[in-house]
């Protein structure tokens, strides 16, 4: 995007932070260094939910882990500051965006201050960032004021007069109630034209300007029309990047998510309103894919945060941006336009393009939304899945899904029934791959036992279980740290320590190590549930 506006941009991918050489490679930037930790938070990339070092990194050459440092945004910034003391540094990307204020850090198990303060950088861009990046470059070139740009965070010696004062870093460290107050204030001011926010951090104030407006459809179309190579950085040579295999021939149809899941930070980063690309733009990109020398006829994925939110939005338009009601929880809002017609029409056109043999939807669909359109489900099942449909019910017990802000097991069972009916109608042998989560706030061992029985009854084989990882910027993380729901003040059970591993193991008892872990834990700590555990174990083939 910067190149399209006439700027020269150099990219230093995964620099070696142990020495200065990589940070000198391209010389001194004329305007600024932009720093990002990558497509994911570096701590999520480097550590499992049980805080063990990961053995692989899908975004690194040859999948080798450890090519990015822990807290990469901070480490890279310090390395730059050491070499180029006077050059401005602008932070961006998901890691910086979610850590822009004082936040609970799961890996340190404590509250850390804003990454902007820790990194000794000049400004932080939060959100998707295209408009901010161009405006920062333009203003630096003209020696104009940076601190008025929406969608940035900056440092001040005093709190601005118009800003809302958040509880300070010291306050949120000392009081979980104040931490929750700060979290809610930030969340409620996450829309364009909201109030400016300020938080005291040691000797400085961290000031957040209101969010940048979302790109319009025309602007989003233009961004995706830019001449991306669809290749990894040339410095990686022939070393493969695992994530490139899917991304190379996939198409992003929209941005934003109105799902409002408590454990997801996507709305905090991209926004809770959906901006969809035009059909013409998407078809043009598909045409470019088809002409690529490595294309073999399969578009790997067509979608976004939830594939079937394309073309949807609130009927209230601009008024919806300040709405605090969830669009999908506890039920679909009547003001939400949930028609799948635009998406159905788009998928039909894509699969009929010359040189395109298959168009898959792999980014996952929101099953409660899909239930509003049987036609869409039939289209997807008939043409756009290769045999398995990925969905994420996460749990089935209402006590847990209420905390997650997700539909409960009844809605999931309705979906399964409809899916089987469609299977019979189109005469295909398709399968559901459900994603379930263990150790989420609100989830007790009795709830995991119930989920395990439910999975056994339906005949699912669970290869992977997602263990809840508290990441900055989510409601679930606020609950995990404080132990209560900030909206209601109600105390919430938070699985910690060995209970987290036991909850995950309950869904994979066929693994003998998991079986022993669960049995030992229940005998020591939860003898009142041993009868239920015995019933579950007896239903598992091969277990004593």
103-105 vs 89-91, strand pairing mode = unpaired
Checking if the pLDDT of 543 tops 70, the result is no
Cα–Cα nearest to 159, from 112, 114, 196: 196
93: region left, alpha or beta (phi > 0 left; psi from -120 to 50 alpha):
left
- Map out the domains of the chain as residue ranges: 3-208, 217-386, 392-544
Query: Residue 215: its pLDDT value, please?
Result: 95
CA 168 to centroid of chain Cα atoms: 27
Q: What is the mean pLDDT of residues 167-186?
A: 98
254-255 vs 275-276, strand pairing mode = antiparallel
Q: State the Cα–Cα distance between residues 452 and 182, nearest whole angstrom.
A: 37
Query: Residue 464: its pLDDT value, please?
Result: 76
Q: Residue 235 is encoded by which pair of tokens?
A: 């410095």
Share of the chain above pLDDT 90, in %: 83
Cα–Cα nearest to 166, from 156, 174, 178: 178
- H-assigned helices in 205-254: 217-225, 242-247
Which tens digits make up the pLDDT trace of 329-383? 999 999 999 999 999 999 999 999 999 999 999 888 999 999 999 999 999 999 9
Query: Residue 325: its pLDDT value, please?
Result: 79
Cα–Cα nearest to 180, from 532, 481, 385, 469: 481
Q: Which CATH number fits domain 392-544: 3.40.50.720, 3.30.750.200, 2.60.40.10, 3.40.605.10?
A: 3.30.750.200
One-character DSSP codes across 148-203? T-TTEEEEESS--TTSEEPPPHHHHHH-HHHHHHHHHHHHHT-STT---EEEEETT
Query: Residue 534: its pLDDT value, please?
Result: 82
DSSP code of residue 296:
-
Share of the chain above pLDDT 70, in %: 98
Query: Residue 33: its pLDDT value, please?
Result: 98
Task: Name the burial class of residue 35, with classes exposed (0-12), middle (13-18) and buried (19+) by CB atoms within 10 angstroms of its CB.
Answer: buried
Checking if the pLDDT of 542 tops 60, the result is no
217-386 classified as CATH 3.30.750.210: yes
* Cβ pair 495, 503 in contact under 8 A: yes
DSSP H or E run through 274: none
Which tens digits make up the pLDDT trace of 429-464? 999 989 999 999 999 999 999 999 999 888 887 777
Count of CB atoms situated within 10 Å of the CB of 195: 14
Q: State the Cα–Cα distance between residues 486 and 20, nearest whole angstrom.
A: 45
* Cβ pair 133, 92 in contact under 8 A: yes
Domains 217-386 and 392-544 share a fold: yes
Query: Residue 32: its pLDDT value, please?
Result: 98
Strand partners, 358: 298
């Amino acid at each position: 995007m910067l190149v399209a506006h006439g700027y020269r941009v150099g990219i230093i991918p995964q620099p070696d932070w142990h020495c200065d050489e990589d940070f000198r490679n391209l010389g001194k930037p004329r305007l600024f260094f932009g720093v990002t930790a990558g497509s994911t938070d570096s701590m999520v990339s480097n550590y499992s939910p049980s805080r063990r070092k990961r053995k692989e990194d899908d975004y690194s050459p040859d999948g080798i882990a450890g090519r990015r440092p822990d807290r990469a945004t901070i480490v890279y910034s310090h390395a730059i500051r050491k070499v180029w003391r006077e050059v401005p540094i602008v932070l961006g990307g998901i890691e910086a965006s979610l850590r822009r204020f004082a936040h609970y850090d799961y890996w340190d198990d404590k509250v850390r201050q804003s990454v902007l303060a820790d990194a000794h950088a000049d400004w932080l861009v939060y959100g998707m960032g295209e408009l901010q990046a161009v405006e920062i470059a333009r203003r630096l070139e003209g020696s104009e004021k940076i601190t008025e740009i929406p969608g940035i965070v900056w440092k001040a010696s005093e709190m601005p007069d118009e800003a809302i004062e958040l509880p300070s870093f010291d306050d949120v460290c000392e009081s979980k109630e104040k931490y929750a107050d700060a979290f809610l204030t930030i969340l409620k001011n996450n829309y364009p034209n909201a109030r400016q926010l300020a938080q005291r951090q040691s000797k400085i104030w961290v000031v957040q300007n209101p969010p940048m407006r979302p790109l319009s459809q025309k602007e989003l179309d233009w961004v995706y029309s830019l001449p991306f190579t669809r290749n990894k950085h040339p410095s990686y040579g022939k070393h493969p990047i695992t994530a490139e295999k899917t991304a190379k021939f996939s198409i992003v149809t929209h941005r934003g998510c109105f799902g409002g899941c408590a454990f997801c930070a996507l709305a905090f980063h991209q926004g809770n309103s959906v901006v969809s690309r035009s059909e013409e733009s998407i078809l043009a990109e598909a045409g470019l894919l088809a002409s690529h020398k490595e294309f073999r006829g399969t578009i790997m994925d067509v979608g976004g945060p939830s594939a079937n939110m394309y073309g949807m939005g609130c009927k209230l338009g601009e008024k919806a941006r300040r709405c605090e009601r969830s669009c999908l929880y506890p039920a679909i809002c009547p003001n939400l336009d949930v028609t799948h017609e635009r998406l159905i029409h788009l998928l039909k056109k894509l699969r009929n393009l010359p040189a395109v043999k298959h168009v898959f939807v792999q980014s996952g669909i929101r099953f409660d939304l899909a239930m509003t359109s049987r036609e869409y489900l039939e289209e997807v099942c008939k043409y756009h899945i290769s045999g398995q449909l990925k969905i994420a019910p996460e749990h089935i017990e209402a006590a847990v899904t209420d905390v997650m802000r997700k539909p409960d097991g009844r809605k999931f069972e309705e979906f399964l029934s409809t899916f089987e009916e469609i299977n019979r109608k189109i005469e295909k042998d398709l399968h559901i791959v459900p994603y379930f989560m263990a150790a989420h706030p609100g989830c007790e061992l009795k709830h995991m036992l119930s989920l395990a029985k439910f999975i056994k009854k339906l005949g699912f084989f669970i290869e992977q279980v997602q263990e809840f990882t508290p990441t900055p910027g989510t409601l679930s993380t606020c609950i995990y740290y404080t132990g209560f729901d900030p909206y209601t003040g109600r105390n919430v059970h938070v699985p910690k320590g060995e209970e987290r591993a036991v909850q995950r193991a309950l869904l994979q008892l066929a693994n003998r190590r998991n079986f022993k872990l669960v049995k030992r834990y229940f005998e020591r700590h939860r003898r009142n549930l041993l009868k239920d555990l015995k019933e579950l174990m007896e239903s598992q083939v091969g277990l004593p």
